[in-house]
């Protein structure tokens, strides 16, 4: 573990000119380029060809989270503009329950222009579904770089989901350096997004269209879903010299019993679509270890800590870990397992479930680049990124795709 903790983030830098960052998606999602890395060989294809590279009878897993319109703007009487960016619900602390609230709820939020909001309640008169509504935000205690914020609105026929839908703005990544546009409401969601809760899209999935999904099904690829709500921490740069000083944010995950059973049926192996699916799937092994040690663990006790994979010396196989989860869900009559993870995947990590990965091209010096490096091994990530830079690939959230098969 010590070797992993001493990884220098400087070693994961590469030159990324601004013109290589895709500011907008292609008009047709599945026409993006596909870099294929197979056992050390790199080639180029079109995303519509992805099914040709996925084995018949294998399992492919997607993250079905939906991006919420999490950015709210309030103007103070002084004229100062305050941005309140909803990160995660705290009262009630369940996403679904929070979106269903009809008068008030509280969220952990990042505040833009904080110095201009020292006290008092922010007020905004808005129209939701044709109904005039008075929306207020009151700042509570500080929690790290975020704040507790109480929201209230004066019409009980409207849910918080209605309010966000009408008033909130979709939070596109800061590195796009542009305002959110109406078109982003569609293009910054995957075609299979269902469960509201993310403040960033699981962007590897943006390339999929119904025709690509149909091609995969026709080939006999088993398609399953899970949920990880992507937090703003996904854009958090690593500022420490060594990754030991970088704290991963907590992400909330939900995996159905069907998905667990499919994983068992497929020998505990899968193709992961996106780094969010990777983090969820790989966390399952450690959740299984928790359950094995404590069969009646509660949701909080199943949490996967950042350095846990490097500190755990378990003889449990992946199938045994998954069976522990399945038995736990049966005992507790759960259709879905809800937990959370702070897992950091970096060189030195041993992958348990993921055998193939579909992912975009990530920012220099990011934890996502560490995850890719751990997957392909050694300096091979450089070979992949040099090829992409040399062959006109578009980078980051709205950029092109890659399929990685170590």
> Rounded CA gap, 225 and 277, in Å?
9
237: confidence class by pLDDT, cuts 50, 70, 90: confident
Q: What is the pLDDT of residue 249?
A: 86
Q: What percent of the chain has pLDDT over 70?
A: 100
Within 10 Å of residue 125's Cβ, how many Cβ atoms? Answer: 8
236: confidence class by pLDDT, cuts 50, 70, 90: confident
Span 304-361, pLDDT tens digits: 999 999 999 899 999 999 999 999 999 999 999 999 999 999 999 999 999 999 999 9
pLDDT of residue 177 exceeding 90: no
301: confidence class by pLDDT, cuts 50, 70, 90: very high
Q: What is the pLDDT of residue 141?
A: 93
Nearest Cα residue to 140 out of 205, 93, 84, 62? 84
Please compute, for residue 173, the number of CA atoms within 13 A of its CA located in the half-sphere on the CB side.
24
DSSP, collapsed to helix, strand or coil, labels residue 396 as coil
Span 121-140, pLDDT tens digits: 999 999 999 999 999 999 99
- Compute the average pLDDT of residues 106-124: 93
Where in 262-399 does DSSP place strands (E)?
270-273, 336-341, 354-360
> Rounded CA gap, 105 and 97, in Å?
9
pLDDT of residue 234 exceeding 80: no
Tokens of 42: 């790199």
> Rounded CA gap, 166 and 181, in Å?
15
Mention every residue, 6+ apart, whose C-beta is less than 8 A from residue 41: none
Q: What is the pLDDT of residue 77?
A: 87
- Between 98 and 250, name the one with better pLDDT: 98
Span 41-51, pLDDT tens digits: 999 999 999 99
pLDDT of residue 254 exceeding 90: yes
Backbone angles phi, psi at 142, to 5 degrees: -85, 135
- Compute the average pLDDT of residues 62-70: 96
Q: What is the pLDDT of residue 83?
A: 96
Tokens of 105: 């709820």
Running DSSP on this structure, what letter comes out for residue 199?
S
Q: What is the pLDDT of residue 174?
A: 84
- Compute the average pLDDT of residues 230-238: 79
Q: Which domains does the chain have, with CATH numbers?
A: 2-66+186-405 (3.40.1780.10), 70-169 (no CATH)
**Mean pLDDT of the chain, nearest integer:** 95
pLDDT of residue 2 exceeding 90: no
For the stretch 234-248, what's the b/e string if a residue is b when 16 or more beta carbons lie within 10 angstroms of its beta carbon?
bbeebeeeebeebeb
DSSP string, 132-192: EEEEEEEEEEEETTEEEEEEEES-TTS-HHHHHHHH-B----GGG-S---TTHHHHTS-TT
Running DSSP on this structure, what letter comes out for residue 54?
S
Pairing verdict, β 195-198 and 65-67: parallel
> Rounded CA gap, 261 and 264, in Å?
5
Which helix (H) or strand (E) segment holds residue 258: the answer is: helix 257-265
Q: What is the pLDDT of residue 278?
A: 98
DSSP, collapsed to helix, strand or coil, labels residue 114 as helix
Span 371-399, pLDDT tens digits: 999 999 989 999 999 999 999 999 999 99
Please compute, for residue 275, the number of CA atoms within 13 A of its CA located in the half-sphere on the CB side.
29
- Between 236 and 147, name the one with better pLDDT: 147
> Rounded CA gap, 259 and 226, in Å?
7
Size of the chain in residues: 406
pLDDT of residue 231 exceeding 90: no
Tokens of 193: 């997004």
């Amino acid at each position: 573990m010590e070797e992993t903790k001493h990884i220098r983030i400087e070693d994961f830098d590469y030159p990324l000119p601004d013109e290589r960052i895709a500011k907008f998606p292609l008009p047709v999602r599945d026409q993006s380029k596909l870099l294929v890395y197979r056992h050390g060989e790199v080639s180029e294809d079109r995303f519509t060809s992805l099914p040709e590279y996925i084995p018949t009878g294998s399992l492919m897993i997607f993250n079905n989270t939906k991006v919420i319109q999490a950015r709210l703007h309030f103007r103070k009487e002084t004229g100062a503009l305050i941005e309140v960016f909803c990160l995660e619900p705290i009262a009630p602390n369940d996403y679904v329950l929070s979106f269903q609230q009809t008068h008030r709820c509280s969220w952990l939020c990042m505040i833009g222009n904080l110095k201009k909001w020292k006290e008092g309640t922010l007020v905004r008169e808005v129209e939701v579904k044709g109904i005039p509504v008075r929306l207020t935000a009151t700042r509570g205690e500080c929690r790290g770089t975020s704040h507790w914020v109480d929201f209230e609105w004066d019409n009980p026929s409207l849910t918080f989901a209605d309010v966000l839908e009408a008033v909130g703005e979709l939070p596109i990544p800061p590195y796009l350096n542009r305002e959110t546009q109406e078109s982003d409401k569609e293009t910054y969601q995957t075609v299979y997004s269902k469960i509201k809760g993310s403040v960033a899209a699981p962007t590897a999935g943006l390339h999929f269209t119904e025709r690509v999904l149909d091609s995969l099904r026709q080939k006999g690829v088993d398609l399953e879903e899970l949920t990880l709500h992507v937090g703003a921490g996904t854009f958090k740069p690593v500022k420490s010299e060594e990754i030991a000083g970088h704290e991963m944010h907590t992400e909330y995950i939900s995996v159905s019993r069907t998905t667990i059973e499919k994983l068992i049926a497929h020998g505990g192996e899968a193709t992961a679509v996106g780094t969010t699916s990777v983090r969820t799937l790989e966390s399952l092994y450690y959740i299984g270890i928790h359950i094995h040690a404590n069969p009646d663990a509660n949701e909080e006790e199943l949490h996967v800590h950042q350095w846990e994979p490097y500190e755990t010396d378990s003889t449990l196989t992946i199938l045994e870990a998954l069976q522990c989860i399945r038995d736990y869900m049966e005992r507790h009559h759960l259709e879905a397992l809800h937990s959370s993870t702070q897992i950091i995947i970096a060189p030195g990590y041993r992958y348990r479930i993921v055998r193939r990965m579909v992912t975009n091209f990530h920012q220099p010096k990011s934890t996502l680049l560490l995850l890719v490096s751990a997957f392909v091994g050694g300096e091979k990530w450089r070979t992949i990124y040099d090829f992409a830079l040399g062959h006109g690939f578009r980078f980051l959230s709205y950029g092109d795709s890659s399929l990685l098969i170590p």
